[in-house]
Structure 1
Amino acid sequence: MRFVIMGSGGVGGYFGARLAEAGEDVTFIARGEHLAAMRERGLRVSSIKGDVALGKVKATDDPATLGEVDCVIVAVKAWQVREAAESIRPLVGPDTLVLPLENGVEAADILADVLGEAPVLEGLCGILAWREAPGHIRHAGVDPFIRFGERDNHSSARTARLKDVFDRVHGVSAEIPDDIRVAQWSKFLFICAMSGIGSITRAPIGVSRQLPETRALIQAMLEEIDQVARGHGVAFPADAVARAMQFIDAMPAESTSSMQRNIMAGEPSELESQNGAVVRLGRSVGVATPVHALVYAALLPQELAARGELPAAG
């Protein structure tokens, strides 16, 4: 299959590199120093599942030059999805799949709003990875997985074909869940709580999960997300919160979320698409989310400053 990776950081860089390693036709969309490094030296992945060194890769900053492809993997930050959707229009033909791998639960809705329902799948991934340097991805934790499916959960030949491709890729576990919304919200459950606690404490998960005070906050955030999900008709199992806490407890002690790393670096983050989304989605179904509201409010001034949108002090 012919793939385009829209967003070539930790997530896109890792999964794109694994696809290319397996012999798939992969083009990376990148910019700046990262693009220059890939054009000059290729792409390197340092991974707990085995390193990848691609001496030569296809990379560009202009999707319009590529023509229609089989699959676009959208791996930009959540707040960049609408802009990414507009830029990949030339890649999307009648048989193209568009697979979002963002942390939130709203990316597919945004993509479908721009591109139409037909090409868009629901998707998610699990990995602890980041761009360590231009042309270099570091995968430090979590056995990488990818889960996807049709938005209405029906079985299809196109998703089966995509899974067949990923099944031949080293270092990636692929699954088509029975209920993609449950899978998506299950991932959102733990990553949003982990992002929130890490961003307000500035501590790795190994610290915040063991202190009784911060562990109680994690528990409260998980319970709020659980209630919001159920309010939106997500068929969570009864032990969803317990499973999420087990996953958090199994994370490497030094783990941090990408949102936390962005916030600590003074960069724009996924605050609006994670803790902010819990507040907004909770309000829409009458579910109170006081802990997420506090986290969101506490981080909002820094988020606005990082975006150059902080109002002048009065």
Structure 2
Amino acid sequence: MKIAILGAGAMGSVFGGHLALAGNDVFLINIDKQFVDTVNSNGLVVETSSSRDVVKVAAYDNPSVLGVVDLVLVLVKSFHTKEAMLSALNLVGDQSVVMSLQNGLGQEDLLAEVVGRDKVIAGKTFVGGMMVSPGHVQSGVEGKETIIGELDGSLTSRVSLVEKTFSAAGLKTTATDNIVGAMWDKFLINVAAGALSGITGLNFGNLYDLSEVEEIGVAAVAEAMAVAEALEIDLEIENPQDAWIKASSGLPFEFKTSVLQSIERQMITEIDFINGAVVRAGLKAGVSTPVNSTLVACIKGIERSFSPKKM
């Protein structure tokens, strides 16, 4: 397949690197010129717990120079979704598919506003990624599944093609007729540890060593599951503890969540699309979400510290 990774940060580089290794025609799009220059000069370094590959793949800081592709895989920060897609409309042809694997909820609606709902398929992934340095990514794919599907629940040939292409690249992928439920299952994983990692500044090895932190993480998931039940969403995860455990499964001691990675760079996080989405959905469903509200407030406070207002 011809695939453009719109937002080739840590996760985008993991997917793009593995897909390119499998022989797909991949374009990495990242506004960071250092990343682009490094990848084009030296290749993309993709490191797993058992391997280290240098992948020859083309990188660009401007999608407008590219033509139509089969698949646009969107992995920009959630709050940049609409803006990024508007800048990359030249990638989308009559038969193109646009798919988000971003954290949180709501990106598919934003993409549909730009390209039309008929071109959008949905996906969620349990794969992990961390950018060690520009052009060098640590990949957590072992035992991690990606789930994709049509927004209307149908099983189509285009979803089947993406499923086969990703799986052939070592990115275990499954098509489902319940993508909304699958999205919420993945959403629970983000809810479990993302904000807590950002607030404490701890990598997973240290975060998961504190019972007090675990108690809050599990409580945040329990609130989200109560919201899902009120909204009649069919989940596979049955126990909040399972989401907490699954969030770190297969990832290295030093792994950092995307929320923490953003905070360390003094960048705005995706908290509004993660724990913030629990709070908004809770208001809609009439379910109280005090734990998630507190986590959102803490992250917002940290974000304000990057550029505090002054008298």
1:294, CA displacement in angstroms?
1.0
Secondary structure of 1:236's aligned partner: coil
What's 1:70 paired with?
70
Per-residue deviation, 1:44: 1.3
Give 1:35's aligned residue: 36
Q: What CA distance in whole angstroms lies between the structure 1 residues aligned with 2:177 and 2:50?
A: 27
SS state at 2:137 partner: strand
Q: Find the aligned partners of 1:249 and 1:64 in 2 and give their Cα distance.
A: 37
Question: Aligned partner of 1:298: which letter?
Answer: C
The answer on whether the counterparts of 2:227 and 2:281 sit within 8 Å (CA) in structure 1 is: yes
Q: What is residue 17 of structure 2 aligned with on the other side?
A: 17
Separation in 1, partners of 2:114, 2:232: 25
Tell me if structure 1 keeps the 8 A contact 2:130–2:255: no
Partner of 1:260: 260
Are 1:83 and 2:68 matched, yes or no?
no
Q: Could you say which residue in structure 2 is the equivalent of 1:47?
A: 48
One-letter code of the match for 2:244?
M
Question: How many pairs were matched up?
Answer: 309
The residue that corresponds to 2:234 in the other structure is 235
Q: Counterparts of 1:154-169 in structure 2 under 5 Å?
A: 154-169=154-169
Alignment of 1:98-113 (within 5 A): 98-113=98-113
Gaps of 5+ in 2: none
1:141–1:252 contact (8 Å) kept in structure 2: no
Q: Is the 8 A contact 1:5 1:29 kept in 2?
A: yes
Instruction: Tell me the distance in 1 between the aligned counterparts of 2:194 and 2:258.
Output: 8
How large is the Cα RMSD of the aligned pairs? 2.0
In the alignment, what sits opposite 2:189? Answer: 190
Evaluate the alpha carbon distance shift between residue 21 and residue 237 of structure 1 in structure 2; reply closer, same or farther with a 3 A threshold: closer
Any conservation in 1 of the 2:192–2:244 contact (CA below 8 Å)? no
Give the Å deviation of 1:51: 2.3
Q: Which amino acid aligns with 1:94?
A: D
Q: Structure 1 residue 226 and structure 2 residue 225: aligned? A: yes
Relative to structure 1, the CA distance from residue 117 to residue 252 in structure 2 (aligned partners, 3 Å threshold; closer, same or farther) is same
Task: Rate the CA distance shift 1:38–1:264 in 2: closer, same or farther, 3 A.
Answer: closer
Q: Distance in 2 between matches of 1:49 and 1:146?
A: 20
Change (3 A) 1:286 1:12: same
Report the CA distance between 1:144 and its aligned residue.
4.0
Cα distance in 2 for partners of 1:119, 1:99 equals: 9
Following the alignment from structure 1 to structure 2, what is the Cα–Cα distance between the partners of residues 130 and 47? 11
Distance 1:72 1:198 in 2: 30
2:211 matched to which residue of 1?
212
Worse-matched range after superposition: 111-120 or 250-259: 250-259
Helix, strand or coil for the counterpart of 1:139? strand
Give the residue type in structure 1 aligned to 2:49: I
CA shift, 1:252, in A, is 4.4
More deviation in 279-288 or 209-218? 209-218
Q: TM-score, normalised by structure 2?
A: 0.92
Assess if the C-alpha contact under 8 Å between 1:48 and 1:141 holds in 2: no
How far off its partner does 1:256 sit? 2.6
CA contact (8 A) 1:186 1:240 kept: no
TM-score (norm 1): 0.91
Contact 1:145-1:174 at 8 Å conserved across structures: yes
Residue 132 of structure 1: how far off its partner (Å): 1.4
Q: How does 1:267-278 map to 2 (within 5 A)?
A: 267-278=267-278
1:244 aligns with 2:243: yes
Identity %: 30
Unpaired segments ≥5 residues, structure 1:
none
